[in-house]
Amino acid sequence: MGIISRYRNALKNETTAGIVLIIGAVLALVWANFPAASARQAYETLAYTPLFDLHGHGMSLSLIAADFLLALFFFIVGMELKQEFVIGSLHDIRKALVPILAAVFGMAGPMFVYITVQLLSATPNWNGWAVPVATDIAFALGVLGLFGKGLPISLRTFLMTLAVVDDLLGIMIIAVFFSSHLNFLYLGLAVLVVAFFGALAQKRILSWYLLWPLGLAAWLFMFMSGIHATIAGVLLGMTIPAIQRAGEKLPLTEHLTEKLEFYSAGLILPVFAFFAAGVNVVDSGGFLAMLTDPAALGIYLGLPLGKMIGITGGVALLVYVFKLKLGKNLYMGDINAVAFVAGIGFTVSLLIATLSFPDHDPSGPHARVAVLLGTLISLVIGAFFLRGRALWHRHHAPVYDLEHMDENRATLERHEVLADDWIEETFGEVPGGEPEVGPGHYDR
């Protein structure tokens, strides 16, 4: 097996994919803050020198990674959203209601923390309010898989549903708040191209020489419309059919995700992390200046603390006041642990951080480092609480979950009635209400 094949197989593990992201970000951070000034300047030149002009934008490698390459990642996100809404965890709104509302609370919590920090600051910076709201699905699930062994499977479903809704809301924030000078002609052309792309996908016309040019055209028109171009990737992904047809081994959304996941997780996301996280802290006041910057402070506290306050507090309100139910074998302690894990923002938070601050604002670079710091804090605290909850479940969780005792008892009684009916139908009624025990009879 070659190096590429091994790398491809390793990336199927969500934890490994998260580690690759971290490596890309750390390499950039080290290079951008290398002691030699010439090395720092080399990174700056590599990342931000415009290579060509597109519709008034100087397209540097950093901008290409964030606006163009990242569209493939959002195409996969769009397919995942489509699948979850059609056949996945969001298909039954009643079962998904608690994690859906938890996602909303989980976005409000970080905003509350960020706004509170700015109100308490002598020099508030309101531009970064949206940065700490996002949860990185793959990274968060990887941490849960690594440190949450022994926890109920319903906790993974809860986090998956929460993160999917979080992604959807994050995409809406990007589309609404980070669009400028809208050109409705180009926006209309983008929508038409997306519709044509979707029509071909519905008919299973999947020739690359048709779909790839259409995808590029949709991206270009969306870019020229003034809406962030990655939204084109989301819309294209959501046109892919999620219902499996006869003769298909997998739904088309799953099939295409499997084919493209390697390029997204193994190439595009590390490249994006490399250019988004390469912040020169040395020449912008040092690490202490970053830590005390009100915008950065609101972000690296908002990710772990805000997510915990929002999700744990929101779910407690839903369960104890509105009497909604958690998933099977879940307790509030489990929700609290996974709330910290939801503070792993990374990809979408880094993207929002690059969009939130003007080029001349020193808080912009600080915000991107704060995303990494907030993600690290969330990871460490979340891992600690997940291991604690796994140990608790192993030693203290009752054999029969008390929260589901009535449900279990009703199921048992139903089975007993069915068994009695089957015995009576098979062997006939016997004196005393018990079947005779002997050859050919069932000994109950």
pLDDT tens figures, 268-305:
999 999 998 888 888 777 788 889 999 999 999 999 99
Q: pLDDT confidence of 180, banded at 50, 70, 90?
A: confident
Residue-averaged pLDDT of the chain: 86
The CATH number of 3-179+228-394 is 1.20.1530.10
236-253 mean pLDDT: 91
Q: Which residues contact 331 (CB under 8 A, 6 or more apart)?
A: 403
Q: Which residues contact 411 (CB under 8 A, 6 or more apart)?
A: none
Q: Which residues contact 92 (CB under 8 A, 6 or more apart)?
A: none
User: Both tokens of residue 109?
Assistant: 């919590």
Digit-coded pLDDT (tens) for 403-427: 444 444 554 455 455 555 545 555 5
CA distance 203 to 198: 9
The residue that leads in pLDDT, 400 or 307, is 307
pLDDT above 60: residue 444 = no
Residue with tokens 């052309």: 189
Prediction pTM value: 0.80
Q: Which of 8-22, 207-221, 342-356 is predicted with the least confidence, judged by mean pLDDT?
A: 8-22
pLDDT attached to residue 427: 53
Q: pLDDT confidence of 11, banded at 50, 70, 90?
A: confident
Task: Indicate the length of the chain as a whole number.
Answer: 444
261: enclosing H helix or E strand: helix 252-263
